[in-house]
Amino acid sequence: MTTAAHSAQAQYDQFRQRGLQLDMSRGKPAPEQLDLSNDLLDALPGFRAADGTDARNYGLGVGLPEARALFGGLLGVPAAQVAVDSSASLSLMHDAIVYALLNGVPGGQPWVGQQPVFLCPVPGYDRHFSICEARGIKMINVPLKDDGPDMDIVEQLVANDPAIKGMWCVPKYSNPSGTVYSDAVVRRLAAMKTAAPDFRLMWDDAYRFHHLTDAKVRIADILAECASAGHPDRAIVFASTSKVSWAGSGIAALAASPANIAWWTRHAGIRSIGPDKINQLRHVRLLKDAATVEALMMRHAALLKPKFDAVLAQFGAHLGDVAGVSWTVPKGGYFIDLVTPPGFARKTIALAKEAGITLTPAGAAYPYGVDPEDSHIRIAPSFPSLPEITQAAEGIALALKLAVAA
């Protein structure tokens, strides 16, 4: 064993003796973040909506008018082009895929039997890939560059293969890299020629409001760009308050063209007689408007940024001189993408586990759980306390250092 390997082993062994037990496998808000919205418990002095609707009863499958207006203001679209339903946008994404498989989307036939294919920018969100895998949709990897998916590859694929029915997109502060799509990329996605007339962009705007700096990054409006390019039905935008208010008790929405909203309403009306309008009502009363949400998210950022800074500081201190290692420095979102030399992600995660740190499984950021180079590790700094995340980042760095040196 080399001197460097001996040193790495000694540092790792010493760290492991601390006996940590930390689970960083998901990007969960910390209790202190959830506390920021505890006024939800008192935000419902009555159950009547602004138009007199009794929120306790059935009906309004697309959501309360004021809930639609709230998301319309947040997403920059007319309230009529918004449907509010469920407590998590992932549920809406799953249902949209199922409706497309069984019934088709406006302008197309049911996807079932057509052997549908989705493009997946990688590294990406594992739950998107789980939906496709569970529902029999083949996935094709597309490299994610600094400004979004590699559009030369995307445009070539969609132009020549009518089986490609859609593409997953996390356009701002992507999970896990923090990538922000450039306006040029957004416009190319909106305007590109597709062999499938019923192609859909599944636009997961999960981190739209989740800034870590005062920059508050803005990107081009995909719905407006699609309409301008002559493809008004191409994109379906998904968002929620899952990491704005309470992660398990938020409200979710989709925004789309009138034709897509009518399509959604028709099929969702078979599934449900109406959403939880009481929860919608209390969120409307707490969150009020875009300015109130922005102010709340700055309070989230004040809690999150020190944790991200702690991770970055530990990585810099322990990994700055390790060849082939890099990591992202996101301006928002919930994750840092730690990139190892090829072949070392799985080994690093196993060593971190032995030291008491549970991370997202290797390969999770790729379809079918297969990272071709075994090099990406998703770091989720949000849930542990600041002292805990500082120790965890040190442990992850020492695990990687040992994996490479051994």
> What pairs with residue 54 in β-bridges?
48
Give CA angle at 311 (305, 312), nearest 5°.
90
Tell me if 20 sits within 8 A of 391, measured CB to CB.
Answer: yes
Rg (CA), the chain: 22
Query: What pLDDT, on a 0 to 100 scale, did the predictor assign at position 107?
Result: 86
Query: What pLDDT, on a 0 to 100 scale, did the predictor assign at position 1?
Result: 66
**Which H, E and C letters describe 143-165, residue by residue?**
EEECCEECHHHHHHHHHHCCCEE
Query: What pLDDT, on a 0 to 100 scale, did the predictor assign at position 176?
Result: 97
Measured CA to CA, the distance from residue 296 to residue 236 in angstroms comes to 26
Q: What is the dihedral of CA 59, 63, 67, 70, to 10 degrees?
A: -150
Tell me how many helices (H) and strands (E) the chain has.
13, 13
Query: What pLDDT, on a 0 to 100 scale, did the predictor assign at position 364?
Result: 97
> Comparing C-alpha atoms, which of 283, 270, 251, 244 is closest to residue 92?
251
Query: What pLDDT, on a 0 to 100 scale, did the predictor assign at position 3?
Result: 82
Half-sphere exposure of 157 (CA within 13 A, CB side): 23
What backbone torsions phi and psi does residue 378 show, to the nearest 5 degrees?
A: -85, 125
Q: Counting beta carbons within 10 angstroms of the beta carbon of residue 315, is it exposed (0 to 12), middle (13 to 18) or buried (19 or more)?
A: buried
Give residue 42's Cα distance to chain centre: 29
Q: Would you give per-residue pLDDT tens digits along the chain (406 residues)?
A: 688 889 999 999 999 999 999 999 999 999 999 999 999 999 888 899 999 999 999 999 999 999 999 999 999 999 999 999 999 999 999 999 999 999 999 989 999 999 999 999 999 999 999 999 999 999 999 999 999 999 999 999 999 999 999 999 999 999 999 999 999 999 999 999 999 999 999 999 999 999 999 988 999 999 999 999 999 999 999 999 999 999 999 999 999 999 999 999 999 999 999 999 999 999 999 999 999 999 999 999 999 999 999 999 999 999 999 999 999 999 999 999 999 999 999 999 999 999 999 999 999 999 999 999 999 999 999 999 999 999 999 999 999 999 999 8
Q: Which two tokens stand for residue 395?
A: 């442990």
pTM of the model: 0.96
